[in-house]
Amino acid sequence: MGEKKKKIIKTIRVDVDKCNGCRACEVICSAFHAEPKYSSNNPARARVRVIRHPLRDIYVPVYAGEYAPAECMGRDQYTINGKEYEECAFCRASCPSRDAFKEPDSGLPLKCDMCESDPDLTEPMCVQWCLNDALIYEEREEEVEEDAVAQQEEVEVGLEALANKYGLQNVMDAVARMSKKD
């Protein structure tokens, strides 16, 4: 087994009950990520979106995560405290089913980077601009197996190269055959 290493996990705690629905997080996110910095703003470019249905009292700030090439097979509905939420209200993906988390001009996916910059900010801008404390920044330490992570990454790089050469289906078939032999 590999050596255990400490890793900082950056977290934004979202308290939907404290959200007043103002979208300041969207405003400042898009301004911070403008080039040059703060030169323009446009919530459609923000990496955080408040999913809002004011008349249903639904306000959920969601952060842009990984890009998803395909939409989900069906979407579920959740009822929480008597309010109905679509699954998408909690989903971070930039995906074909919705406009959120795509550059409005190019359609390229957006992803929250926790405002990583040089020099480092004390907190991401959205947290700084949320005076209602619906967004709280936290850092916590997690122990991870450094080698295991590295090995996993190497395997993935290798498989990706094989997939590019022979096609993903052939690689998957080969892996399936190999796993049956054991």
Partner 1 sequence: MRYGETGFNLEIDLSRGNIERVENDPVDTELYLGGLGTNAKIMWDRVPPEVDAFSPDNLLIFSAGLLCGTPAVGCNRTIVTTISPQTKLLAFSMMGGFWAPELKYAGYDKVIIRGKSPSLVYLYINNNKVEIRDASHLQGKGSNETTDLLRQEVKDSNAQVAAIGMAGENRVYFASIEQERSSASRAGIGAVMGDKGLKAIVVRGTKDINVARPAEFHGLCSEVLQYIKKRENNPIPGVMPILAGLGSPQEMKIHDEKWHTESFMWGNSRVRRKDFWTEEVAKEWTGTLENTRTRLISCYNCPMKCGGTISIPGLPTYMMKCFSKLTYTMAAFSDLDFGLKIAQRATEYGVDGFSTPQVMAFALELYENGILTDDDLPELPSDNEGRFYYLLDKIVRREGIGDVLANGTYWAAKEIGKGAEEYAHNNIKKIEQLPLKLSMLNPIYFLMYCTGEKINITQIEGQFPQMPFPKREQREEFVKDWIQVPDEKFKQYFLDWELRGENSMPFYPTVEMCCDIVDWQEKMHYIDDALGMCAGLSSFPLKPPYHIHNYPKLISAGAGIDMDEETLSQAVKRYRTLVRAINIRRGMRREDEKPPENHWKKRFPELEKELLDTYYKFKGWNEEGIPTKESLEELSLDYVSEDFLKRGILTANGDSPAAEEEKE
Residues forming contacts to partner 1 in the complex (CB under 8 A) are 20-24, 27-28, 31, 34, 36-45, 52-57, 59, 99, 104, 129-132
CA gap 52, 136 in Å, rounded:
19
The distance of closest approach from Cβ of residue 56 to partner 1 in the complex, given in angstroms and rounded to an integer, is 7
Q: Which is nearer to partner 1, 36 or 74 (CB)?
A: 36
Is 152 in contact with 34 (CB distance < 8 Å)? no
The distance of closest approach from Cβ of residue 132 to partner 1 in the complex, given in angstroms and rounded to an integer, is 6
Question: Would you call 44 helix, strand, or coil by DSSP?
Answer: helix
CA gap 58, 52 in Å, rounded:
5
The distance of closest approach from Cβ of residue 98 to partner 1 in the complex, given in angstroms and rounded to an integer, is 10
What's the gap between Cα 56 and its chain centre?
25
Q: Which is nearer to partner 1, 132 or 170 (CB)?
A: 132
Question: Would you call 12 helix, strand, or coil by DSSP?
Answer: strand
CA gap 48, 45 in Å, rounded:
9
Q: Which is nearer to partner 1, 36 or 180 (CB)?
A: 36
The distance of closest approach from Cβ of residue 76 to partner 1 in the complex, given in angstroms and rounded to an integer, is 18
CA gap 141, 147 in Å, rounded:
18
Q: Which is nearer to partner 1, 30 or 112 (CB)?
A: 30
